[in-house]
Amino acid sequence: MVNTERLLATFLDLVQIDNPSGGEGPIAAHIRGLLEGMGLEVAEDALHNLLARVPGEGQPLLLNAHMDSVAPCHGVRPLVADGVVRSSGDTVLGADDLAGVAAIVEGLRATLEQGQPHRAAEIVFTVQEEVGLRGAAQFDTGALAAREGVTLDSGGDFGGITVGAPSQDSLYVLVQGRASHAGVAPERGVNAIVVAAEALAGMPLGRIDDETTANFGIIKGGAATNIVPDRVELWGEARSHDQEKLVAQVQAMVAAFEEAARARGASVKIEIEHKYDAYRLALDLPIVQRVMAKLRAMGHEPNPQISGGGSDVNIFAQRNLQVVNVSVGYREIHSTGESIAVADLERAAELVRRLLAA
């Protein structure tokens, strides 16, 4: 069985290491030390993605989680009360996805301590997952012998299995207006903020349909209240399980900016980047069936789900790896109310141990 006290200590140590996307060096070094402390050889690429190979029987099983967290993730102070781990309220907790990392580490430790035959494994801990799966996209999956695996990077009730996720396109928009003195000659200016606001008000955003979502999450512009702002930058995204719907949604967002700019005498520059493709896993795939069987053996009814969010699995699927994303049990991710029950953390580690059992 897994050691719950050790597992919790590992998790609490991890979340107190600052781990913003693009700044994972310190936490990668800590995790590498944990893996090497188990006698494993660890390879680290230029981005700080980690790969550890675990000798054992049969074709290796891929085990994956990511090491970065969304902001605010500096100075996390975890609190444990009534069997639940939370942040102090001014940062995220980082359970997404350090709970996945901790569960894999503890499940592996428990396996190796038993000294019994076990399945071979390849452990991949990635960086920059939260900013478009950049770590997984640049990771050399050709170095893997594994053809199937499990990612621990999903929330909600333990037992959840993500068998489908959407494609995503990101948008960068630059609205160029004309500056002027806001008090002396406002009519000479073209307010880029107004153009952006009118564009946003005129486009479909949020939940578009049961397969499609869209959002603008960052806006930067303006220099002073007495200057008509001539420049505004916006960053957004669109997601869909249907590629045609994704294309149509992005076109609608672009058209709204172009129309608003034209009406006000502004100009607009838009850059679109396709981040990753959608995927669906058949329920009769061997890895899906294996995970479901292990969950049932633990007393949990599997709950296959279609997700609205992407994960490293999207990249693995593009490269013909069959990987299923399972719930670790964390709640309210990407917020300062993020939490995870210690019991769910323990269940996730136990699932890893059972998956590795020969």
What is the set of active-site residues?
68, 129
Q: Count H helices, E strands: the chain? A: 9, 19
Q: How far, in Å, are 51, 72, 123, 157, 336 from residue 77 at the CA level?
A: 28, 12, 27, 24, 11
DSSP strand E in the chain: where? Answer: 42-44, 50-54, 57-66, 79-81, 84-86, 119-126, 148-154, 160-165, 167-176, 180-181, 206-209, 212-221, 227-228, 231-240, 267-276, 279-280, 303-306, 322-327, 339-341
CA-wise closest residue to 261 among 172, 178, 169: 178
- DSSP secondary structure, 207-223, as one string: EEETTEEEEEEEEEE-S
With CA atoms as reference, report the closest residue to 85 among 339, 350, 352: 339
64 DSSP β-pair partners: 124, 151
DSSP string, 280-292: E--TTSHHHHHHH
Q: In whole angstroms, what is the distance from residue 201 CA to residue 223 CA?
A: 23
DSSP state of 158: T
- Count CB-CB contacts under 10 A for residue 309: 18
DSSP 185: -
Do strands 119-126 and 57-66 pair parallel, antiparallel, or not at all (unpaired)? Answer: parallel
The CA-based dihedral angle spanning residues 99, 104, 106, 109, taken in that order and rounded to the nearest 10 degrees: -160
